[in-house]
A and B are shown apart, each in its own frame.
Chain A
Amino acid sequence: MSSGETTARAVVESSLKAAENLNGPLNAFLEIDRSGALKRADEFGQGNSLPLAGIPIAIKDNICVLGLQTSCGSRILGDYHPPYNATVIERLLGAGAIIVGKTNCDEFAMGSSNENSAFGPVKNPWDTLRVPGGSSGGSAAAVAAGIVPVALGSDTGGSVRQPASLCGVVGLKPTYGRNSRYGLVAFASSLDQVGIFARNTSDVACVLGIIAGRDVHDATTADVPVPNYLEELTTNIKGARIGFPKSLFGEGLDTEVHESVVAVVDVYRDLGAEIVEIELPNAAYSIAVYYIIATAEASSNLARFDGVRYGFRAEDAPELRQMYRKTRAEGFGPEVKRRIMLGTYVLSAGYYDAYYRKAQQVRSLIKEDFRSAFESCDAIITPTAPTPAFLIGEKVDNPLSMYLNDIYTVTANLAGIPGLNVPCGLSSNRLPIGFQLLGAYWSEPTLLKLGHAYETARPFTERPPISAT
């Protein structure tokens, strides 16, 4: 664009066309903003020097964008239009980005398959009979299919990294406190982070540098300088110490995923990294801890959806409490109800110590496991998901088996550390496989550098059958 060979309008037009044409097979977008995106594109003349000038970006539908809907994939919000932009959106717009639309997701970001959206599941561009992962499945599918080069999602237990893995794109969950959540609809506030999808680590690094940093509107953002992530993106990883948690490569892990990630370890060794065996003794408890803490926080955060100030209100409920109950019964889907009730249960009188306090204690142990592990290594490698993309409908009747899909990703949210998914190949039936790098607090430069070294050595160039390019 800066060389004058193309215009912002042409780039945005082609992104919009792809979004529209592929929404039949993929259902990745809940709203496409053709007129707004083109109007903004026309405001960019050639030679604009903003870092994202004219770059089309898709946003998960639980992040507020002024003028567009924020449904969170839920009937209870429906076509709710927020009166402000999320801070990450303000920063993207300030850098010249053009938002082409809002992407489909599991209702209130609760799910690992996108089947919990009130507006139908997103399909995986590699095989439309399969899930794209979740909860940010629409954003992952939109990047995988080449509709947009970058998309934002949110990651509470793996909702950026797991769909990135299942769709074959790069996905980053930053350190807790790195990105502002002002304007991200809250699910579990001690775990939520805004994350980034792109086709490569350079694009993730560029966008992270723009959206990261302290925000007065979000008290959990930390006063930590934002480095120039792009400048730190070299391929020289000689001497880097990569932790290999052998115990996580056992039961429940698909053979092909296992072999692929072990092959990645060999690539790192060839690139000059030192592989260090490490232990994460309490990682096996992470799903149990997560589904206590996340549901407890969700039951509290979702109390605000009561049919009074915004969104859907049930009809024929002449008394207030009856209106609350009916609105929430009709507005929320089954997974959200299940989690609100579980969260209410674990917080209720007589059970708080047995469940919630216990989970917070084990969370301390998990944090300590990582602190200790990072004394002997710079990053930890694991699979991102235990299997490649599964079939739509395969796990819907068994919530627990769905939850176990997050086994490798939830630990990062519990500990507050960053995690990065990098694609590392295809399974025998041509489904993407990804590996995950976990790092200490604020180690995004290390993770991105390691990811960059891998993708430079072993570029993932395969394209899905449903693709814009």
Chain B
Amino acid sequence: MPINESDVEKVAQLAHLDITPEELKIFAPQMAAIVTYVEQLNALATSDVGPALGGLTPEGERTNSAREDVVTPSLGQKIALAEAPDPASGHFRVPKIL
């Protein structure tokens, strides 16, 4: 299904991206070409093929990643906030929500 400018506008909204009318003119045909290209997969019969689940090897699947439920040191408030654009009183401050 060819992707058009209104599809691109919609996904931009879903992805929290403002895009300009100029960008839309560039992105829409590029994305349409890519989507058309990936649709070549439809030529393959896959009804009896299970989807791959991630990239793990059989050995990776068998690896037990659970750990003991013990408290380990964490970054702490000061370091965790050090790179925040607008920290305030030990919190991440954001613009108004409502």
Contacts and interface: CB of A to CB of B under 8 A. Distances in A.
Contact of A219 (B19, B40, B42, B65): B65
A295 to B, nearest CB: 9
Interface in A53-102: 80-81, 83-84
A279 to B, nearest CB: 16
Contacts of A414: 52, 55
B36 to A, nearest CB: 9
A59 to B, nearest CB: 19
B95 A317 contact: yes
Query: Looking at chain A, what size class is its interface with the partner chain?
Result: 35 or more
Nearest to A295: B34
A318 B94 CA distance: 9
B17 A191 contact: no
Interface string A292-334: 1000000100010011111111000111111111101100101
B57 A222 contact: yes
B59 A441 contact: yes
Contact of B41 (A288, A307, A317): A288
A285 B62 contact: no
Interface in B71-98: 75, 79-80, 82-86, 92, 94-97
Interface string A268-286: 0000000000000010010
B53 A341 contact: no
Interface string B21-50: 001001100110111011111101010011
Interface in A215-261: 216, 219-224
B34 to A, nearest CB: 6
B37 A338 contact: no
Given A285-B41, A313-B85, A362-B41, A341 B17 contact: yes
A197 to B, nearest CB: 22
B17 A220 contact: no
Nearest to B7: A345
B3 A345 contact: yes
A341 B15 contact: yes
A311 B60 contact: no
Contacts of A321: 16
Contact of A309 (B23, B49, B83): B83
A49 interface: no
Given A220-B56, A441-B58, A361 B34 contact: no
Given A177-B56, A361-B50, A364-B50, A345 B94 contact: no
Q: Which of A175, A220, A318, A365 has the most chain B CB atoms closer than 10 A to its own CB?
A: A220
- Which 9 pairs of residues, A with B, have the shortest CB-CB distance? A360-B51, A313-B85, A219-B65, A329-B18, A190-B55, A363-B52, A222-B60, A310-B83, A361-B46
Interface of B: 3, 7-8, 11-12, 14-19, 23, 26-27, 30-31, 33-35, 37-42, 44, 46, 49-60, 62-65, 67, 75, 79-80, 82-86, 92, 94-97
Given A313-B85, A334-B26, 12 more contacts: A288-B38, A324-B16, A338-B31, A341-B12, A342-B35, A361-B46, A361-B51, A363-B51, A364-B52, A414-B52, A414-B55, A442-B57
